[in-house]
Structure 1
Amino acid sequence: MRLPTLVLQALVLQALAGLPAHAAPSRIDDLLARMTVEEKVGQLSLFAPVAAGALANPVTRQPSAEGQRDAIRAGRVTGLFNGVGREGKREAQTIAVKQSRLGIPLLFGADVIHGFRTVFPVPLAEAASWDPSLAERTARAAAIEATADGFRWTFAPMVDIARDARWGRTVEGAGEDVFLGARFAAARVRGFQGPDLARADAMLATPKHFAAYGAASGGLDYNTVDISERTLREVYLPPFRAALDAGALSVMSAFNEISGVPANANPWLLGSVLRGEWGFGGFVVSDYTADEELIAHGVAADAREATRLSFLAGSDISMQSGLYNEHLPDLVADGEVPMARLDDAVRRVLAVKEKLGLFDDPMRGLDGTAPADWPEHRALAREAARRAIVLLRNEGDLLPLPRQGRRIALIGPFAEGPHDLHGPWTLFPGPRPPVSLAEGLRAALADSSSLTVTAGSGVDRPVRNGLRDAMAAARNADVVLLAIGEGEAMSGEARSRTDISLPAAQQALAEAVASTGKPVIVLLRNGRAMALTGAVREARAIAVTWFLGSETGHAVADVLFGDAAPSGRLPVSFPQASGQVPFHYDHKPTGRPVPESAPDAFYKARYLDVSHEPLYAFGHGLGYGRIRYDAVALSHQRLPWNGVLEVTATLTNTGPRAMDEVVQLYVRDPVASVTRPVRQLKGFERVHVLPGATVQVTFRLQRADLGFIGADGTDTVEPGAFDVWVAPSATGGLKARFLLEGPTLHNVGKR
């Protein structure tokens, strides 16, 4: 059912009232007073440069190059995005500031997702570091490089929680957990924007996709979303709130619908929540042609109605469709869109341009020359790649490998060459190709002739004599490195998969190599959790190497030969089979749980063919040491309503090598007014533990850490008993119990 226009207007205007200003009001008020309606609408219209085409998206009413220049002269364009090179930006900006009537500068945006000239690990891989400060550093480096090319706005970070590994865009986010996702969302915003948006190397960050895009039904990109408001608020909104609290001043709306209303035309989401409850004072930009897609969604009869619904709901800038330029002036003239709503949107856009310093220096980053390569950032790329690697399995301490004395066969479609290293959304790489596995290994080995390399198969199909050559190489080696997994084209936008296991050709390669009896180390390349089977699942060692970017080969070699110990931890659960997804560790209990004492019990919440447990749990990862969790202690058995509880764990490294351990704190509310997850991450800390050393790690819990959305839809904390674990992953660990007291000493019950 559609809301009447007047109701929509009232909702939006009420939500927009009293928003904070982000700019000098005199300049912006002066511009607004002089602007025509068409020029105002132009500040809300964003396009790709004609020369850049539309990249991976459908082309939508692209004008000629001269037609786009004319539109800039007429003040009908607020900015351009994903334009390659500085010459075109210089020309466009010169037209805007010298030849348009009001001289309002353009804002140049880009999909700077995980690096610019220097390519860092994909965001999911970076989240495996469990170190938000690392993500802040790589985002800062990416911003420095991109702003030197004239870009001041990035369509990142993607902060969608992803719990269905079939969804290809899992690769762009921080994984399945709310706490971890919020920490990385804030860190990336801080990194992109820096300490002051007016600085020349600051990039405006854009958390996306608002909201719940990661909950697409069936893991199918662009699909519908059907979730409760509780799930929306507890799972999918917190990372956005964290990003905005970190200073983000633009937000990108999502393609999907929520409760039957597409996000781009959802006045409750964009108005009541984003602006009303959260007080967001920046601007909302639609995702690519999302306003036009309201017609296909079936909520708008035509482009004019799609424009009205999108704009009145709170979408300030239209990306690529051109609908605002075509229809907003007439909608304002006919009284269907209030002038006040138009002025509010334009004021926000101009205020952000002012905050970025564009009015004072519109050619910033466009004059002079920009470096083609940034050698100082390659060391950071190598560090980030090393720390993203997750060692899942290491039977018999096969790793680390000695640098000499062993013949190594590197086999697989990703063994050699610069392909499939950067990962998706790598639009502006520098001139130096990424370091391949073979290149990195040869550089690290004492004798590079001890390494033999063969493909064995293609990414998704056999190659002639591939299995024969691979088996021959394996037989002549002491150990096999099996470089298998997903190609770049298998992860990312519009890359949903029904089966998250290996392509058949690669599985056949793994089985053939395993049949030789030689020890196998799997180097898994992937942009999502995968279901591992057969010889891959049973390999002596398995390392998740994701898409690691510019320094892939060197980073993998560093870990394989022990120059750097593996320290990554999974930000997503690895299921046992594709049919288990969506899967996440913090699921709700059911009324028929499977008893630990009878895992095969019938009429319980279990599958017939596999247990409903992960193959590798969220948070799992091995190092080259061995950490024993010895004891957990609470500072008190009761947590006062306004107090602090300390949870201390004692750890010992019983192995022969130093270990970087990621100690994780989980909490459960076992009895509450609404069902609560079986565990929730509430803290983590990275500690370095020398061989034979014992360390203590202390976490602090407060009442705010124990809240949830109550039965009445409001933020709630209920006194009573809570379970707490200090653990190396979302399964196992040391358990304790404490009591949260009520606001008064005698109120200690749940109800």
Structure 2
Amino acid sequence: MEKQQLEALLKEMSLEEKVGQLFQIIGYYYVEEGKKFITGPDSGLNLSDENGALTGSVLGLQGAELSKKIQKEYMEHQPHHIPLLFMMDVIHGMKTIFPAPLAQAATFEPELTKEGSEIAAKEATAAGLHVAFSPMADLVRDPRWGRVVESFGEDPYLSSCFVKAQVEGFQGSDMKAPGKICACVKHFAGYGGAEAGRDYNTVSMDSHTFQEFYLKGYQAGIDAGAGMVMTSFNTIDGIPASTNHHLMRDILRGELGFDGVLISDFAAIKETIAHGYSENGEKAAENALRAGVDIDMMTTTYLDHVADLIQKGVLKEELLDESVMRILELKNRLGLFENPYKDADEEKEKELFLCQEHRKTARKAAVRSFVLLKNDGILPVDTEKKIAFIGPYTDRKEMLSSWAITGDAKDSVTIREAAEEVFASDRTVYLQGCPVLTPGFGTAQLRLEVEEEPSEEECRQMKEKALKAAAEADLVIMPLGEHFKESGEAASKANIEIPEIQLELLEEVVRVNPNVAVVLFNGRPLDLRKVSRLAKAILEVWLPGTEGGHAIIDVLTGKINPSGKLPMSFPYCVGQVPVYYNAYSTGRSDFKGCTDHFRSRYLDIPNEPLYPFGYGLSYTEFEISAPELTEDTLSADGSLEASVTVTNKGTRQGTETLQLYIQDVFASVVRPVKELKGFRKVTLEPGESRRETFRIDETMLRFLRGDGTVGSEPGTFRVWIGNSSVGKEFEEFTLL
């Protein structure tokens, strides 16, 4: 449709019809089968057939046959035959599930995420979907927050690279094209800064931190052309995001330049009443529409009140028209007026879902996301040795995240299934050892959602068999970690160790056989002090997705050398949280060897995390020279180059991730001790050296200055190039 045709359509629509476009309903109000996809509290809606016929979009339905059936029936009853939008949480894969987003960030390869998102879009659109509620652009510094698993970590630059890649992978250059889906950047804004890491909690931060760190990921998604943005549940400056006029009108649509559809999160508009901000549903509807929120997800707040507010003169119909036009424009960008079914195709579903090509890419992404945290020489595994796999993830298919709601765990390859393709059966045993969760752990809801708990006697027998096998083995590989329901929405935790029953199993196994390598499953940074003390090797595999088992065996056996790097700092203990590498200096910063008592430090633990941002080992050893600069000054319109020589000093081919960090030493506001400004993966054969160069220009030095403007300031800058955020040798230059 042309613009003038959309405008003509808008003029013809009744007031009730317009309001209906702003209402999103969950799919089970159309078909019972949709109930399993609900992702929030059931609001107990009672809809008339008339209201159901005017709904603008549907949440949580999938399947080509079903979506086409609903679209056809809906358009027959819709007064102007306007098509529905079908939306779904497609977070890290549709049916072929890729590593969780936090794990994808550990690859330091945004192009892999773009490739995975292209695959997810193909599968999702074949199933009749038009919008994916992804990427999550929330910056996260607190691992207690469960939704860290959906994020790309603690660094605004790294996160922005991955947000951009996911939007580009979903949408391409034209959403109308086959296999492309609309991306939805979420949750605007600051959702990852929830106080105490508790989901849905208040966000309270100074405006400088908010703009300098937290807004950058959203900006990257908007700059990449994302067609939709989702509001967050939290407050900003004391006002709930979904009714925050300044946040949505001035910042999102003004400063960040977003002109697409703004959708609330699940029931977020109605929940402003519970916040104590909106007095009632009528006020919530008024506040949210004034703020520019176009779609009310899963409440009737708009449906019940917007028409009355307009008829009473409280709101102007032009305000409603703005939102309706944005929704119509999105449907038009997707090509739905010409083809309301878009790519929904039963045969394509069969062809694409979990096909070998998609599985191969998922396996590659998983392999490159794994981070070797520790290795005292026992990895890679010698397959000629007697090996005991002991731990609850040994033969467990639940390697997806709690947000892989469109995937199916039965399609996953377990460690045991993959290992049996490689390891001799007469030298290898596979035992669970203990359940994933300590019996009785967690909320009643969590216990209802997990498998039946074994009895005390069953636990004793499992452990007894495991210890006997461990004592007889040359090497014990222990797949341990969180239950996948322990991270995700509404999964905040104060204790971020692996479950106690697994720690107890690890301790007892180490007593009978010290040669233990832990394979760690988790959706957040953990306190790994005990695991690190006990195990000789730790391979972080996150929640690796459909091909997790194959990928893990690829790395354990040395078929592929691990190359992942941490996208978030792993704290020494939860008492440090939040702990992140790009902190500000204080007037009394601590440093190694400092004997002054009156410094910013803990009495009982170190300031530094156990494993820092950017950290990750390899089966080979790399040497990186001190950085060298081509110039010691930089003009505003010029550039300089920073170079290092990287050498593979080991006996295996390996890939190192070079990371460029810069510090603005003196400025009109305090600057971080260092900031990631670039990264590059380098693959070298044994003994091979390579010179690698990064270009630095003035645009990389800009920040939110003391006067509120964005730009650089003349002065001294330090440059590090290393393999983690812990760099020692640096060079300096002066910006003129």
**1:640-659 aligned within 5 A:** 640-659=635-654
Partner AA of 1:59 in structure 2? D
1:285 and 2:268 equivalent?
no
| 2:621 aligns with one of 617, 623, 626 | 626
Deviation per residue, 1:195-247 (Å, 9 max, x gap): 31111211000010001000000000000000111111111111111111111
The answer on whether the counterparts of 2:194 and 2:201 sit within 8 Å (CA) in structure 1 is: yes
Q: Confirm or deny that 1:670 pairs with 2:648.
A: no
Distance 1:278 1:679 in 2: 25
The CA deviation at 1:710 is 1.4
AA at the equivalent of 1:658: Q
Give the distance between the partners of 1:279 and 1:334, measured in 2 at CA.
32
CA distance, structure 2, for counterparts of residue 426 and residue 330 of structure 1: 40
Deviations 1:145-177 (A, max 9, x none): 000000010000001111000000000010000
Match of 2:512, SS state, is: coil
Contact conserved, 2:267 with 2:297, CA < 8 A, in 1?
yes
Cα 1:132–1:535, aligned 2, differ >3 Å: closer, same or farther? closer
Matched to 1:417, the amino acid is R
User: In structure 2, the residue corresponding to 1:207 is in which secondary structure?
Assistant: strand
| Counterpart amino acid of residue 710 in structure 2 | D
**Secondary structure, aligned partner of 2:416:** helix
Tell me which residue corresponds to 1:57. 40
TM-score, length of structure 1 as denominator length: 0.92
> 1:249: which partner in 2?
227
Within-5 A mapping of 1:373-452? 373-395=354-376, 397-403=377-383, 405-418=384-397, 420-429=398-407, 433-445=411-423, 447-452=424-429
Q: Is the 8 A contact 2:85 2:131 kept in 1?
A: yes
The 2-side partners of 1:595 and 1:86 are apart by: 60
Which amino acid in 1 is paired with 2:691? Q
From 521, 528, 531, the equivalent of 2:524 is 528
Q: Answer yes or no: is the 8 Å Cα contact 1:631–1:651 preserved in 2.
A: no
Give, in angstroms, the shift of residue 536 of structure 1. Answer: 4.0
For residues 86 and 62 of structure 1, the distance between their equivalents in structure 2, rounded to whole angstroms, comes to 26
Provide Cα deviations, 1:331-350, integer angstroms capped at 9, x if missing partner.
11111111111111111110
Which one of the candidate residues 577, 600, 608 is aligned to 1:605? 600
CA distance in 2, matches of 1:680, 1:272: 28
Aligned partner of 2:642: which letter?
A: V
Distance in structure 1 (CA, Å) of the matches to 2:111 and 2:248: 30
Q: Residue type matched to 1:356 in 2?
A: L
| Aligned equivalents of 1:417, 1:538: Cα separation in 2 | 23
Q: RMSD in angstroms over aligned alpha carbons? A: 1.5
Structure 2: segments with no counterpart, 5+ residues: 440-458
Q: Does 1:44 align with 2:25?
A: no
Taking the aligned partners of 1:614 and 1:357, their CA distance within structure 2 comes to: 49
Distance 1:281 1:321, change over 3 A: same
Counterpart-to-counterpart distance in 2, 1:432 and 1:458: 19
Q: CA deviation at 1:368?
A: 4.4
Residue 432 of structure 2 aligns with which residue? 455
3-state DSSP class of the match of 1:425?
Answer: coil
Q: Distance in 2 between matches of 1:711 and 1:227?
A: 17
Are the aligned partners of 1:157 and 1:188 in contact in 2 as well (CA < 8 Å)?
yes
The one-letter amino acid of 1:229's match is: S
* Residues matched between the structures, number: 709
Contact 1:478 1:518 in 2 (8 A): no
Q: Which residue in the other structure is 1:138 paired with? A: 116
What's the secondary structure of 1:465's corresponding residue?
helix
The question of whether the paired residues in 1 share the 8 Å contact of 2:374 and 2:532 is answered with: no
1:360 maps to: 338
Equivalence map 1:199-218=2 (5 Å): 199-218=177-196
* Aligned equivalent of 1:472: 468
Q: Which segments of 5 or more consecutive residues in structure 1 lack a partner in the other structure? A: 1-22, 742-751
| Contact 1:373–1:432 (Cα < 8 Å) also in 2 | no
Checking the alignment, whether the CA contact within 8 Å between 2:412 and 2:548 is kept in structure 1 is yes
**Are 1:716 and 2:711 counterparts?**
yes
Give the whole-Å Cα distance in 1 for the aligned partners of 2:301 and 2:156.
35
Measured in 2, the distance between the counterparts of 1:229 and 1:24 equals 41
Q: Deviations over 1:534-587 (max 9, x none)?
A: 244441111101001111110000001111110110001011111111111101
Preserved CA contact (<8 Å) 1:507 1:536:
no
Cα distance in 2, alignment partners of residues 365 and 432 from structure 1:
26
> Does 1:615 find its partner at 2:604?
no
| Range with bigger deviation, 158-167 or 82-91 | 82-91
The answer to whether the 8 A contact 1:308-1:337 is kept is yes
Any idea what SS the aligned residue of 1:364 has?
Answer: coil
Q: 1-side partners of 2:178 and 2:82: how far apart?
A: 18
Output one character per residue of 1:604-646: Cα deviation in whole Å (capped at 9) or x when no partner.
1111111110111100011111111123210100011111111
Q: Within 1, Cα distance between the matches of 2:307 and 2:179? A: 36
Q: Deviations over 1:701-732 (max 9, x none)?
A: 11111121112222131101011100110002
Partners of 1:653 and 1:426 lie apart in 2 by 38
| CA offset digits 1:437-475 (Å, max 9, x no partner) | 111111122x13322111222122262333322221110
Match of 2:539 in 1: 543
Instruction: Name the CA distance, whole Å, in 2 between partners of 1:249 and 1:175.
Output: 23
Residue 511 of structure 1, aligned match among 507, 515, 529: 507
State the alpha-carbon separation in 2 of the partners of residues 361 and 310 from structure 1. 32
Q: Cα offset for 1:417? A: 2.8
Does structure 1 residue 182 correspond to structure 2 residue 160?
yes
Corresponding residue for residue 10 of structure 1:
none
Contact map agreement 1:72 1:100 (CA 8 A) in 2: no
Question: Is the CA contact (8 Å cut-off) linking 2:45 and 2:299 kept in structure 1?
Answer: no
Over the matched positions of the two proteins, sequence identity in percent amounts to 39
Separation (CA, whole Å) in 1 of partners of 2:509 and 2:79: 69
Tell whether 2:151 aligns with 1:173.
Answer: yes
Aligned in 2, Cα 1:390/1:431: closer, same or farther, shift over 3 Å? Answer: closer
Whole-angstrom CA distance in 1 between matches of 2:394 and 2:596: 45
Q: What secondary structure does 1:662 align onto? A: strand
**In structure 1, distance between residues paired with 2:582 and 2:408:** 40
- Cα distance per residue 1:42-65 (max 9 Å; x no partner): 11111111222362411113347x
Partner of residue 221 from structure 1, selected from 199, 209, 217: 199
Q: Could you tell me how far 1:279 is from its partner in structure 2?
A: 2.5
The residue identity in structure 1 corresponding to 2:359 is R
Query: How far apart are the structure 1 equivalents of 2:678 and 2:277?
Result: 42
CA distance in 1, matches of 2:544, 2:682: 24
Q: In structure 2, what is the equivalent of residue 744 of structure 1?
A: none
Structure 2 counterpart SS, 1:335: coil
How far does the alpha carbon of each residue in 1:272-331 deviate from its partner, in whole angstroms, 9 at most, with x for none? 011122332101000000000000000011111111111111111100012111110001
SS at match of 1:295: helix
Question: Residue 446 of structure 2 aligns with which residue?
Answer: none
1:594 matched to 2:590? The reply is: yes
Q: Provide the rounded CA distance (Å) in 1 between the counterparts of 2:346 and 2:518.
A: 47
Q: Secondary structure at the match of 1:150?
A: coil
What TM-score, normalized to structure 2? 0.94
The alpha carbon displacement at 1:673 in A equals: 1.5
Q: How much does 1:590 deviate?
A: 1.3
Report the CA distance between 1:72 and its aligned residue.
4.1
Pair 1:117-2:89 in alignment: no
Tell me the distance in 1 between the aligned counterparts of 2:466 and 2:409: 32
- Cα deviation for residue 84 of structure 1 reads 3.6
How far apart, in 1, do the equivalents of 2:344 and 2:605 lie? 58
Q: How does 1:305-316 map to 2 (within 5 A)?
A: 305-316=283-294
Task: Letter of the 2:597 partner, please give it.
Answer: F
